[in-house]
Structure 1
Amino acid sequence: MQKKIQTVQTLLDALPFIKDFRDEIFVIKYGGSAQIDTKLKEKFAKDILLMYLVGIKPVIVHGGGKRITSILDRLNIPTKFIDGQRVTTPEVMEIVEMVLSGDINKEIVSLLNNHGAKAIGISGKDAHFITAKPKDFEKFGYTGVIEKIDPSVVFNLLEENFVPVIAPIAASDELSHPGYNINADLCASKVAGALKAKKVIFLTDTPGVLDKEGNLISSLNEEKIEKLKKDQTISGGMIPKVDACIEAIERGVEKAHIIDGRVEHSILLEIFTSAGIGTQIVK
């Protein structure tokens, strides 16, 4: 009986958050182990379904860098990185689009649909939803920087009760252009800003932003982040994630969250409990 009462108490604790978040848009950047581990995939799908059923409007932006690299290696197509970003040659761009739009996107859509959510996959090329320009064509090739997002495409899907699943491929205004490969973190922050989302949540393979002793920092703002970058507490792959969070906040998103996707139901723990489990970035 005690266990049943505890279950009810957990539901009651989540009730204020469910009320506050109803009809709000949450953008979730789906990547890391949560996107690879079979068990974590199932937990992720159930988290999204629960959000969907209680009236939250989830929008998924996914990456797929590891699978792209694996297929490029199998096909003996050389790939290299500069400053952590992939150089996207025409041959690489073809594989990037095949993997992101054709393989991973459809896998996520199928996973969500099988669990009862009404998901639909799109990329930035669909209805020219996302358009971009080269980051530095001589250096990075078809790696792009987002210029414009048309939020009406996603709003229309949300209106029809779809869960949009977005592959980070952007269109170009040029005819017969292969499109642009976009960093998934930056794509998620731009999409969240364009949709005026309540939250943007980044699933990572770390507990969040850590201090020099390895302890979780539960809350940050832009000023604190700049200090931590200067003393190299925040470094490496965490820099683009916190930068994406700051950009989202500056574009009107209320809160950004960096959480550990390796923890089962990490999304629900972050948004439906007072303590949360990751780092939140606020204005």
Structure 2
Amino acid sequence: MTMSKSMLATEREEKSVVVIKCGGSIINELTDDFFQSLSVLKQNHHVVIVHGGGPDIAETLNGLNIQTEFVEGLRKTSDEVLNVVQMVLGGKVNKTFVTKLFKNKIKAVGLSGCDGAILQAQQIQDGKLGFVGEVSHVESNLLYSLLEQGYVPVISSIGMDENGQLLNVNADVAAGAVAKGLKAERLLFITDVKGVLKDGELLETLTVKEVEKLIDEQVITGGMIPKVKTAVSALSSSLDNVYIASGTSSFCNEQGLIGTSIKYDTKSKECNDERVVSNI
């Protein structure tokens, strides 16, 4: 029996989408609590995972003695580097993640962002950074088909341009694009801490202005700064709530999500979602 468009639309309305971004450094640190939380979340939501793999890419490049060039502090993705990125992200890291999910009784399908042209991208900075791109369009039909069959799509952050050229896409940016493209209810950035802490206590809710103030006051420091800035940049008209949560402890229970929720200020809401279009 095939599902009609109206039936598919009803299914989509019944379960909202949550996009989870996992960096390469946290994937091997994910605990049983993380996967248990994921199972709880999946009971009432469709879940999509987007991942990076920076540490594994760097390790492989070093092992192959491939030199990397930096342009204004940013790594340039040459053709040789891109081959490694494709191999590591779409291969080792992606399949390791899918295997972990399977072991925790979560059905998942590993995908590269170029599969089904999910992440359609454009080269940035006139090619000064090599084969690096930003997402211009999210093809959602394949993702919805998998979600409606109960699978968790696990997407590596490799995009493709209109000519079929693969592009290295920042995983944080890719996750934000997927969340906007699927009109996700929530976007979660998984880290090694529960969220933003002040004097050891979790700050459950922050506005954009409060984030800026805490950075100025040096409450938010070090590696948490790029995390909260990425969360802020992911906010849009359709995505007004982004979480920073833990991959080493529970991030979800029957009462809801556990972590720091970052929202727009009530009086200042700037949208940054014009570039991302979705086939919903």
> TM class by shorter-chain length?
0.7 to 0.9
Shift of 1:201: 0.8
Quick check: which one's helix share is greater?
1
Whether 1:281 aligns to 2:238 is no
CA, structure 1 residues 102+116, in 2 after alignment: closer, same or farther (shift >3 Å)?
same
Q: Aligned letter for 1:184?
A: A
Which string of whole-angstrom CA distances, capped at 9 and with x for unpartnered residues, describes residues 147-203 of structure 1?
11122221221122211101100011124x2x1111111111111111111111111
Shift of 1:80: 5.0
Alpha-carbon distance between aligned partners in 1 of 2:49 and 2:197, rounded to the nearest angstrom: 25
Whether 1:204 aligns to 2:194 is no
Alpha-carbon distance between aligned partners in 1 of 2:167 and 2:218, rounded to the nearest angstrom: 31
Which of the residues 115, 128, 137 maps onto 1:139? 128
For residue 241 of structure 1, what is the aligned residue in structure 2? 227
Which of the residues 234, 239, 251 maps onto 1:267? 251
Aligned CA-pair RMSD: 2.7
Quick one: percent identity of the two aligned structures?
37
Which of the residues 42, 45, 51 maps onto 2:41? 51
Whether 1:118 aligns to 2:107 is yes
Range with greater deviation from structure 2 (132-141 or 96-105)? 132-141
Alpha-carbon distance between aligned partners in 2 of 1:118 and 1:166, rounded to the nearest angstrom: 14
**Secondary structure at 2:44 match in 1:** coil
For residue 28 of structure 1, what is the aligned residue in structure 2? 20
Shift of 1:45: 3.1
Maintained 8 Å contact 2:21/2:188: yes
Alpha-carbon distance between aligned partners in 1 of 2:123 and 2:223, rounded to the nearest angstrom: 22
Alpha-carbon distance between aligned partners in 2 of 1:130 and 1:165, rounded to the nearest angstrom: 13
Shift of 1:90: 0.9
Quick check: which one's strand share is greater?
2
Alpha-carbon distance between aligned partners in 2 of 1:103 and 1:232, rounded to the nearest angstrom: 37
| Gapped regions of structure 1 (runs ≥ 5) | 1-20
**Secondary structure at 1:220 match in 2:** strand
Whether 1:161 aligns to 2:150 is yes
Which string of whole-angstrom CA distances, capped at 9 and with x for unpartnered residues, describes residues 48-89 of structure 1?
23333x232111111110011011111001235557743211
Alpha-carbon distance between aligned partners in 2 of 1:237 and 1:150, rounded to the nearest angstrom: 32
Shift of 1:240: 3.9
Maintained 8 Å contact 2:158/2:167: yes
**Secondary structure at 1:140 match in 2:** coil
For residue 270 of structure 2, what is the aligned residue in structure 1? none
Shift of 1:43: 3.9
For residue 224 of structure 1, what is the aligned residue in structure 2? 210
CA, structure 1 residues 75+194, in 2 after alignment: closer, same or farther (shift >3 Å)?
same
Maintained 8 Å contact 2:252/2:258: no
Range with greater deviation from structure 2 (155-164 or 63-72)? 155-164
Which string of whole-angstrom CA distances, capped at 9 and with x for unpartnered residues, describes residues 214-247 of structure 1?
6543321223234445566556544443333234
Range with greater deviation from structure 2 (87-96 or 250-259)? 250-259
Alpha-carbon distance between aligned partners in 2 of 1:151 and 1:282, rounded to the nearest angstrom: 25
Whether 1:129 aligns to 2:153 is no
**Secondary structure at 1:244 match in 2:** helix
Q: What's the TM-score once normalised by structure 2's chain length?
A: 0.79
Maintained 8 Å contact 2:251/2:259: no
Alpha-carbon distance between aligned partners in 2 of 1:191 and 1:199, rounded to the nearest angstrom: 11
Alpha-carbon distance between aligned partners in 1 of 2:145 and 2:195, rounded to the nearest angstrom: 33
Maintained 8 Å contact 1:27/1:199: yes
**Secondary structure at 2:238 match in 1:** coil
Q: What's the TM-score once normalised by structure 1's chain length?
A: 0.78
Q: Residues 93-112 of structure 1: matches in 2 within 5 Å? A: 93-112=82-101
CA, structure 1 residues 78+127, in 2 after alignment: closer, same or farther (shift >3 Å)?
same
Range with greater deviation from structure 2 (132-141 or 194-203)? 132-141
Alpha-carbon distance between aligned partners in 2 of 1:112 and 1:123, rounded to the nearest angstrom: 17
Q: Number of residue pairs matched? A: 252
